[in-house]
Structure 1
């Protein structure tokens, strides 16, 4: 028995490549690459840095990533906050057997029956809290054991159910379900912070960037990420500083400048308050 998706562009057979849950990964995961498969990832714990196409974002719990066929991507987990995630990889093959290259948002739009806003078409999507159980359960069932001889069919049905859950969730967000405005705004703000981490970032500037008041930004940001904007920026700077201290020979003052600290001495004070040692001592301990 085959499982097929009937789309406007034709009929496509579903081929499951892999479904898995990976726990507590740290550091380098893979090089930038592409392949003719769909790749869905949902972050459950920890943090990482994901490059998908031309976008680089900090992966946080509740974020859903989709990689369309032949879309370049690279993943790296945090050194200090090990990342756990679900991943589902599959191929859609046309009647000629050639893997389809339909962008994943197009699949979502066709199922949901509505055009998504441009912001909702971008990966990643911050899944609003009320929708996370449905998405996580969809991923969880893909990794549940299934016995032969029905395992292949069960795997396909589970992945198809996952696609439907994601399409339903993103479609509801795109139609204005609770959390859409906040989720897409915070996603945009995370990208903006990543891009501008090298300089001072004020609360007022961040609020202006997404056209809200500073007070509203603090409430919205904490509801979506669990941290205030200031806490998130400081934590992100500390993590990137630790990574550069371990992975490079860049001078401490250069790291401080790169990450937007007002001076090397201020960076050293903040680092010592957080980790109990100066950046230079931390680097020596890691090498020793």
Structure 2
């Protein structure tokens, strides 16, 4: 019979979150276990095998998993230095976040799948570990739990696309927000994935309901709109910076995205906040 871990046995003295750091042995797990709480764990060092009812996945440093209550799983280390950080989170804390932040629906703990996986690069992992240290030093109250969870959830929700999409595609879509990438258009985005253009196009249509060109142009227009109301650069300069020096094409894309010309958009939204007119 599978072991079921209970939050009442882990969360003591009104704590709403508990952090554990553990070296994962290379011994094959005898069975899977589940729990009545939400769990986040990430691989801090080395590699681990993640056992679930539908198969085994190898996780590496920076891989991050969100698990819902009732999810069956187990871990096995690969090598001598497999280190995992795990968080036990009270169900009421997760419910409160979802109630106040509807944008979380469909992502992370609130996805249709009981297990969602993401990846943190070296910089992001360092930020995550810094937050984990602060959490360890806190009283792990509801306030401290949210202080840890909200920045992480906001970051991952902003970064990720559909949780059903392949990790390589979500990573590319997130990286494409960099002007150095979207400035190169769809070709630059496809090159970022390391996949063939037809495969990327099919995947984008399936998971994002967009072509690579539509996706990249949406990023360009969002960047242009922000620049129009925060900078005083000429429209032609902004267009060239996002990789569309053809002003006719830029105006067409911008009007389609925002319903007005770039100049009309700037006049409507730009306000003098530093030295307002009296």
Give the TM-score, by structure 2 length.
0.45
The structure having more radius of gyration, on CA atoms, is 2
For CA contacts below 8 A with separation 6 or more, give which structure has more relative contact order: 1
Taking structure 1 as the reference length, the TM-score comes to 0.44
